[in-house]
Amino acid sequence: MIHCYKLGGLNIVLDIFSGSVHVVDEVAYDIIEMYEKSDKEQIISEILKKYKNRDDVTKEEIEICISQIEDLKDAGKLFTPDTFSPMADTLKKKTSGVVKALCLHVAHTCNLNCEYCFASQGKYQGERAIMSLEVGKRALDFLIENSKGRRNLEVDFFGGEPLMNFDMIKELVAYARKREKESGKNFRFTLTTNGLLIDDDVIDFANREMSNVVLSLDGRKEIHDRYRVDYAGNGSWERIVPKFQKLVKERGGKNYYMRGTFTHANPDFLKDIEEMLSLGFKELSMEPVVCAPSDASALTDEDLPIVLDQYEKLAELMLKKHREGDPFTFYHYMIDLKGGPCIYKRVSGCGSGTEYMAVTPWGDLYPCHQFVGDEKFKLGDIWSGVTNTEKQGEFAACNVYSRPECSNCWAKLYCSGGCAANAYHATGAVTGVYKYGCELFRKRMECAIMLEAAKALED
């Protein structure tokens, strides 16, 4: 399978099953599109006809181009057949029985009251609660016990607002540092915060102990304050931005994401990215809102072309800034063509419900943070482990080849079938497909690969 597209002045051909990326001229682009449907004589005739006003497009030159295409095909870099389909189950089974990441819901409560929150203001359709140190420690023990040979273990402090349980987080990280020495593991912690409770103590701790921090900022003040308000209805932008700036300034180059949400209120989210840049932030992420289609904040069909155009304009801006020596990153455009994921990862996906689980303040296990609060997805708890093996089996069976809708999609080995939670909310099945999300994903991949291609050609 191949995918051909034109973006940023480049003609790009992706060979899906080898992972190869080719930048081609106009003639080669047309020939590659015709190659599998036409014989050599037909191609020559069609190309000569199309380029009749170009002296350089001769029969000989077309034959040279065809031979270059054939060389790439012989080298396994073009029109590569799918050899992964028969091994999809085997690849996915490599994750069987191994847990390597937990999302710890240390606070099912929040000091903001954001209307668009998928977690219903941090409560996840339940009662407000705080995770105890005892539960937190047992969660880490559970992770170590079930991680088998995996060394790198990820733990995300999530909520609600996790800093509403900051003292416990500090004690738990100290416990983890002790346990990782004994067990030969390496914990990577992440903190996701709305920023309100950031102070010097938090900054010092987060910049020392957190591999990553995810800082929630929606961009422009009027956009941010539309949803991200406290219980008195006051916007939070002015209170959090100086705190985020101080934290990032003192972070010393360690990873962070300035993470925004865009909704029906701001499909023109590039303006919010530009606002983040003007505030001095360079590692950015803007995510489409997750909510019911009936929600006022939900993205609509009318928003879709605007959003797709914004993704292209964002790529153009990134290329411009790269050329000016003032680059910034965007989470979804961070693609490493040489050092990216292997085919095992591409087939097996995010690992929700198998490698990755969420832990509630009470110690219950769910397939991921987005299923917390939906009782039928409860997998077990951190004391007894996974007991709902039937439900876990649904997640274990998810791979890129288990979704018929993905079979003809060129982007499948970049998304690995997509998000189970998005699929469930859109279709009622974790093996479904959230088609709106697919549209956004494909555009993001085209932009990301174009950016890498443009940089590779210039460097």
User: Could you say which residues in the range 111-140 bind other proteins, by CB under 8 A?
Assistant: 118
Quick one: which segment of 165-173, 243-251, 318-326, 414-422 binds other proteins (CB under 8 A)?
Answer: 414-422
- Is residue 346 involved in binding other proteins (CB under 8 A)? yes
Question: Which of 45, 58, 73, 77 forms a contact with other proteins (CB under 8 A)?
Answer: 77
Closest approach of Cβ 449 to other proteins, in Å? Answer: 9
Cβ-based nearer residue to other proteins, 237 or 414 = 414
Tell whether residue 188 is a contact of other proteins (CB under 8 A). yes
CB of 338 to other proteins, least distance (A): 6
Interaction between residue 219 and other proteins (CB under 8 A): no
Q: For residues 219 and 424, give the distance between their C-alpha atoms in angstroms, rounded to a whole number.
A: 29
Q: Nearer to other proteins by C-beta: 67 or 278?
A: 67
Query: Binding other proteins by CB under 8 A: which of 2, 65, 139, 382?
Result: 65
Least gap, CB of 356 to other proteins (angstroms): 4
**Span near other proteins by CB under 8 A; candidates 135-143, 300-308, 401-409, 434-442:** 434-442
Interface with other proteins, residue 332, by CB under 8 A: yes
Which residues between 3 and 42 bind other proteins (CB under 8 A)? 13, 17-25, 27-28
Among 1, 4, 98, 397, binds other proteins (CB under 8 A): 98
Residue 174 or 334 having the CB closest to other proteins: 334
Which of 278, 340, 393, 407 lies at the binding interface for other proteins (CB under 8 A)? 340
Question: Which pair of structure tokens corresponds to residue 419?
Answer: 């998000």
Q: How deeply is 48 buried, as exposed, middle or buried, from its count of CB atoms within 10 A (0-12, 13-18, 19+)? A: middle
Q: For other proteins, which residue of 236, 285, 399, 431 counts as binding (CB under 8 A)?
A: 285
115/38 Cα distance (integer angstroms): 55
Nearest to 135 by CA among 299, 338, 381: 381
Using the minimum distance from each CB to other proteins, give the nearer residue, 174 or 456. Answer: 456
Name which of 242 and 340 has its Cβ closer to other proteins: 340
**Which of 1, 8, 46, 61 is in the footprint of other proteins by CB under 8 A?**
61
**Which residue from 124, 269, 414, 424 is in contact with other proteins, where contact means CB under 8 A?**
414
Pick between residue 80 and residue 431 the one whose CB is nearest to other proteins.
80
Residue 326 half-sphere exposure toward CB, CA atoms < 13 A: 8
Cα(101)–Cα(455) distance, rounded to whole angstroms?
A: 33
Tell me the number of residues near other proteins by CB under 8 A. Answer: 93
64 is a site residue for other proteins (CB under 8 A): yes
Q: Which two tokens stand for residue 117?
A: 């929150």
Is 424 one of the binding residues for other proteins (CB under 8 A)?
no
Does residue 290 interact with other proteins by CB under 8 A? yes
Give yes or no for residue 448 binding other proteins (CB under 8 A): yes
Is 288 near other proteins (CB under 8 A)?
A: yes
Check residue 429 for interaction with other proteins (CB under 8 A).
Answer: no
